[in-house]
Every structure is written in structure tokens, then in C-alpha cells.
Chains A and B, each alone.
Chain A
Amino acid sequence: MIEVKDLQKSFGEAHILKGITTSFNKGKTNLIIGQSGSGKTVFLKCLLGLFNYEGGSISYDGKVFSQLSEDDKRNLRAEIGMVFQGSALFDSMTIAENVMFPLRMFTKQSKSEMLDRVDFVLNRVNLPDAHNKMPSEASGGMQKRVAIARAIVNNPKYLFCDEPNSGLDPKTAIVIDNLIQEITDEYQITTVINSHDMNSVMEIGEKIVFLKDGLKAWEGSNKTIFKTDNEVVTDFVYSSNLFKRVRKMYLEENE
């Protein structure tokens, strides 16, 4: 479980995060949503320890990140898997080498053990024959799946995904969403996804934190987001006509 208390972050005069308090549960897919510029990416980078923050605290299963020694921070990071928006695969390595990378860095496994594990996770993300391809030879969806494989290869306790569906067609996006949810359930990982894709919200938003102007504007789940009267949320969610119609149908069905 990840707990965030009164998190504040500024860049010079610009106050980006203005005191966010929330928590992300183990074994759940937790979504951070909001419009562009709402502070989602900064929030995620603070959670990952890539940005220092001025106020508040973040704790991982009771361990307050800012109070950890450098060694403990490094150990904690080894328990984190991250799927970047652009996949961030190492373009000088093959797909198998990319997936093997965390194992080479953090374990003392033999090469055959590492290869077995790589085979296993590449099968898990439905890429059994992609070992020797270079990232540039893989499609966007494949790259995302490789990034997920790399993120889970070392059995992380926490999985972070920054807009995992950006640039993907709707069908592939659903495949990626489902894969993330299955992995979260299967390995009981605390998964935090940064997204503004409403399909993801509906499909896998077991917990949703809605950010606006650096503040938490709403918190709930994919089951409650249709029912909320919070204007800020409805403005965002129903900015698409499709979702307006979906909501209407949902409310009619439940009347």
C-alpha cells in the first residue's frame, strides 16, 4: 500500500501539487486521472522518487521514502516496476536483453535462470517469439508489452504506468489494460496508473483519484464515477458525447 499525505511540489513560482492526500491499495489497479496540466505526471514522478517534494510524505508499506537511507531507497526502487509513456526500452538492446536488464542489475542469477525467467514473462505478456527483435522492430503495442514484461520481471511490489495506452489503437489499449489488471491481481502488486483514457477508467479503475489544478478533486472507483454529481469530474468524464450517452443509458438502467 502506498500512502500520500499532503504532498506539495513547486517549480520556482509555479505551485504544481498543492497538498494531495490519498492512498493506493495493494492488489488493485489505482488510476490517477485528470486533464493535461493537472499535475498527474509530476505526482507520479514524486511517487517514483524522480522529483523531490517540498512538503508532505509518501510511504510504501509504512516506510516513509524521504526518511530512508540511500541504500534503503535503492532497495525500495528495486521493488518498483515502471512502464513509461514511450515505453523507454533501451534501444541498443534486444527485447530479451531489455527484459533481462533488471535481473542482471539486481540479482545473482545465472544466465540460464535469467533466460528462463525472461521466457516466462515474455510468454506472460503474449510475446513468446520476440526475444531477438530490437525495440525499433516492434510495434507500439509490442513495445508496451515488453515494457510491462521488464517492469514485472523482478517480481515488483509496486507497478507504475504512465499513460500506458497513449498512441495505441482502442483494441490494443484494451489488451494492455487487461494485461495490467491480470498481472496486478495475479501477483498482488500495488499498481498506480497515470491516465486520461476513459476506457481505462471504465475497464480497470478499481480506485480512481481525480486531480485538478494540483489538488485531489475527487476519489472513487469505476463503479461510482457514473453516479457522482461532482461537476469537475462530470465535466471531464462527459466531455465526450459517447460517454454522455453511456451515462444516460446507465442511469436509465438503474432507475
Chain B
Amino acid sequence: MTYLSNIGAYFLMIVEMFRKPTKWRVMRELIFKDIDDLIINSLGIVSFIAFFVGGVVTIQTALNIDSPLIPKSLVGFATRQSIILEFAPTFISIIMAGKVGSFITSSIGTMRVTEQIDALEVMGINSLNYLVFPKTIALLLYPFLISIAMFLGILGGMAACVYGGFSTLEDYIVGIQTDFTPFHVTYAFIKTFVFAFLLATIPSYHGYYMKGGALEVGKASTTSFVWTSVFIILLNYLLTQMLLS
């Protein structure tokens, strides 16, 4: 019953988020601030993880190819497929659920605890529109972050492959060009947009409706990470089933 009521409240929050819009000149600033907080400030960690995980994927693939009958270009092919289809959109989104999600929950939750949300409401401001809407719009740039993760993942794979001596640069480049299906990139970006929406709204829900004090802000951040991850994984499965099978 609690789950159902939470799901209902979540959808009502989304509807409410679009009502009584905040003045554009204020909203514009909020959107830019959230782009900075959520996207730009995540560039470093996403780039770092993407580059090195790309390298690890390559090394593991290369080490598992024992047969001389399998071409060395398969290493590049497998790295590209893993990174574009799964690692960049899904794995990075789980990381972002921890980084960006807990930031959103704790910042909105702290505003709830310190009555800043009440202050907005008393002034007649739609606090959901003021707080959640700009985050949702800012995260429309999330695919930009994922594109960088894709590029750096493949680059990291190339570095690991060439400098680790697993195959030549030419083999790797042939591999990443082999059987390239543009729709796989489209599929990855469709997933990314859905995950971006989840990343903005689920942590906001947990922060906005939290009750209690500082300790509960921490608990709400943990809960929001768990539920954002659960829904990312679930929707990842559903979207893959719908778009690829």
C-alpha cells in the first residue's frame, strides 16, 4: 500500500511540477546553475571512470580470446558494443544516481528541514516548479555527458589495447568500425533520456517529501539512490526488450 501511495505521489509531483511556472528570467538562471551543478561538475568523474573502465573492458576481452582463429579486431568490436550499448548509458547512470541523485535529495531535503521550501510556498511560489523543473531541464543535457563517456571509454580501451600489447592500433580501429549499427547509438540515447528523467525526479521526490531532521536527510539520500538504481535497471531491461529484440 505504501509503495502504491508513493508511486501515486510521485506522479502527482510530476504533474504539479509543470503548474504555476516560475518567471522565465529566474528560471533561466536556475537552469544554468543546475547545468553547472549536475552536468559540468560531473564531467571529471564520468571521464575518469569511462576512460579506465573502457581500458578494463578491453583487457578482459583480449585476455579471454585464446583462439588464434578469432581476429584481434574483435577486441575493439567488443569494447565498442559494451560501451555504447550498456556501460555508458546504464553503468554511468547508476554512478550518477549516487553522485547527482544524492546531491539533489540532500539539497532539497535540507531545504525541507530548514523550512526553505515552506518559505517558497508562503510566498506563493510553486516550490516543485522552482526546485525540480530546472533540474529536469538541466538533465536534458545528460546525453552530452554520455557521449563523452562513450568516446572516452573507447579511447581508454584503445590506450589499454595498444600500450598493453593486446593488439595493434589498426586492429582496434578496424574492430570499432566493424558491423556498426547506428541504431545502437539511438537506442543508447533513448535510454539516456529516460534515465535522465529518473535521475532528476526520483531523488527530488525523496528530498521534497522527506520528514524529520538531518539524519533523515542522509537516509533519504540512501533511499533515493536505491530506488533510482532499481528503476534504471528495470527500465533498462524494458527498453532493451522493446527496442532491440
Question: Using a CB–CB distance below 8 Å, which chain A residues touch chain B?
Answer: 48-50, 70, 73-78, 80, 82, 84-86, 88-91, 101-102, 104-106, 160
Contacts and interface: CB of A to CB of B under 8 A. Distances in A.
Residue of A74, A86, A88 ringed by the most chain B CB atoms within 10 A: A88
Contacts of B25: 104
Nearest to B130: A105
A84 B118 contact: yes
8 contacts: A75-B124, A78-B123, A78-B124, A84-B118, A85-B115, A86-B115, A88-B115, A105-B125
B123 A50 contact: no
Nearest to A84: B115
Contact of A105 (B26, B115, B116, B118): B26
B119 A77 contact: no
A80 B124 CA distance: 9
B123 A48 contact: no
B84 to A, nearest CB: 37
A86 B114 contact: yes
A70 B119 CA distance: 18
A104 B23 contact: yes
A75 B122 CA distance: 11
B121 interface: yes
B22 interface: yes
A80 B22 contact: no
B20 interface: yes
Contacts of A77: 122-124
Interface string B193-217: 0000000000000000000000000
Contacts of A84: 115, 118-119
A48 B121 CA distance: 9
**Lowest 7 A-B CB distances belong to which pairs?**
A77-B124, A88-B115, A88-B119, A74-B124, A82-B122, A84-B115, A88-B116
